[in-house]
Amino acid sequence: MSVLITGSIALDTVKTPLEEHHDLLGGSASYAGVAAGFFTHVNLVGIVGNDFPRPYLELYQKHRINLDGLEIANGKTFRWSGEYEWDMNNRRTLSTELNVFEQFRPALPEQYRATPYVFLANIAPELQLHVLDQMQRPRFVVADTMDLWIETAREPLLQLLPRIDCFVMNESEARQLTRQTNLIKAGRMALGWGPKHVVIKKGEHGCLLFGDGHVFSAPAYPLEDLHDPTGAGDCFAGGFTGYLASVNRVDGDTLRNAVIYGSVIASFNVESFSLGRLQTLTQHDIIQRYEIFRVMSQFVAG
Ligand code: AMP
């Protein structure tokens, strides 16, 4: 089965204490789309300006991403710039230029509307709802958000939650949204707002999956080579949804596996800037790291 992904497409400038790179391919939909492309075909919905580099369009196509729903508008592509501290968990947004995003109101191509799996990556909740409204009974809908929308668009975000199957957020967003300090309470509270499942990502400490009366705690890969954490969350969710679509099952065991596959792709992505590492990633690399996750989580009862 295929997956429809909407979100931002950006030219990013990213600064870490050791390196700085300009006009990198970024945006939540870029990361999520390429991640999902390791598992299945992707129908992308997004907007770029006419300054968007052609090699980036070719990169999408190389990753099984259908561009029928990509609008190329007159104007400049969305731009974002951020800076990391030595503790790479801490990031500061330096600038955001919406550019063509200001006029984005996508009408989905007819052939996209029956896509069974959907990932609404980080964009304004009103736009996530607008895309979802055009879908014909999707089988499983995943959505992500960010601090900005929790602060400025709480109402539409709360309207979205009962309409989705899985809500993904990071730990600070979970605390901000629910006003709970404890993540277990935060996860349960978010479940109470309507989604069937909730995932809380804890960066280098793994993630929690809530739903069906259970909590599953997935470990993080013990990574030594972290270069750029940008897009880790989007790769997680893209890999997660892509895997579910590829097996076309959404039971508890499959969701746990999807969490691990999402974590595998995210752990590779942070090894280099932008989508650099995912360009050389192979199915063999994915399986090998999945196996490390499996062994790492196993213990024998004493
Ligand atoms: P993450 O590291 O998962 O938070 O995602 C990083 C990506 O989010 C970057 O590539 C940015 O281009 C994109 N981004 C930053 N701000 C926004 C925003 N306000 N709306 C949509 N995407 C954004």
pLDDT in tens, 57-71: 999 999 999 999 999
DSSP 8-state symbol, 135 = S
Looking at the predicted structure, is the pLDDT value of residue 26 above 80? yes
Atom of ligand 1 nearest to the CA of 235: 3
pLDDT-derived band of residue 47, with 50, 70 and 90 as boundaries?
very high
The string of pLDDT tens digits covering residues 160-188 is 999 999 999 999 999 999 999 999 999 99
The string of pLDDT tens digits covering residues 191-203 is 999 999 999 999 8
Looking at the predicted structure, is the pLDDT value of residue 94 above 90? yes
Q: Which of 149, 135, 121 is nearest to 30 (CA)?
A: 121
**Token pair belonging to 4:** 């429809």
CB 178 within 8 A of CB 185: yes
Is domain 3-297 classified as CATH 3.40.1190.20?
Answer: yes
CB 30 within 8 A of CB 275: yes
pLDDT at 110: 97
d(CA 17, CA 195): 38
Looking at the predicted structure, is the pLDDT value of residue 89 above 90? no
* Intra-chain end-to-end CA distance of the chain, in Å: 42
pLDDT at 212: 77
Q: Find the Cα–Cα–Cα–Cα dihedral 69, 72, 78, 79, rounded to 10°.
A: 120
To test ligand 1's pocket by mutation, which of 13, 127, 146 has the most ligand atoms within 8 angstroms of CB? 146
Instruction: Name, in order, each residue with C-beta under 8 angstroms of 130's C-beta and a sequence gap of 6 or more.
Output: 105, 106
CA R_g for the chain: 18
The string of pLDDT tens digits covering residues 202-257 is 988 899 999 978 999 999 999 988 999 999 999 999 999 999 999 999 999 999 99
Minimum CA distance residue for ligand 1 atom 14: 27
Q: How many residues are there in the chain? A: 302
Minimum CA distance residue for ligand 1 atom 5: 231
pLDDT at 202: 93
To test ligand 1's pocket by mutation, which of 45, 47, 80, 234 has the most ligand atoms within 8 angstroms of CB? 80
Rounded to two decimals, what is the model's pTM?
A: 0.97
CA atoms within 13 A on the CB side of 194: 12
d(CA 273, CA 254): 30
CB 94 within 8 A of CB 63: no
**Token pair belonging to 187:** 């996860």
CB 159 within 8 A of CB 133: no
- In one-letter notation, the amino acid at residue 106 is P
Q: What percent of the chain has pLDDT over 90?
A: 94
Ligand 1 centroid–CA 275 distance in Å is 14
Q: Which of 196, 122, 192 is nearest to 158 (CA)?
A: 192
Ligand 1 centroid–CA 81 distance in Å is 9
